[in-house]
Amino acid sequence: MATLATTDASFETDVLKATGPVLVDFWAEWCGPCKQIGPALEAISGELEGSLSVAKMNIDDSPTTPARYGVRGIPTMMLFREGRMVDMKLGAMPKGKILEWLADMGVTAAAA
């Protein structure tokens, strides 16, 4: 599954009312580190399909939600469960570190 583009208008449906955990990447087109982690998040979205959804929010196009959650720097990744933000990471991380963080938060690949 590819990552989902979410906006201020669709955030409630895409993230807060989602079934299962959602990793939200707050990013911007001009952000180099954001572009670096993009391919890793696409891969993670596929690898953890059925266990995790990955949503991306462009902070320039949708500034209200990042402000509501106190996003001060990008990339910022937030993990949401049952409509609540349960953890957050700031800055670019390699794919392995993101997967390690998610595993520590109880998000692993669905059993086949």
Active site residue ranges: 31, 34
Rg (CA), the chain: 13
Helix, strand, or coil (residue 74): coil
* Bridge partners, residue 57, by sequence: 26
Helix, strand, or coil (residue 78): strand
Q: How far apart are the first and last CA of the chain?
A: 16
Inter-CA distances, 11 with 16, 57, 97, 108, Å: 7, 9, 26, 23
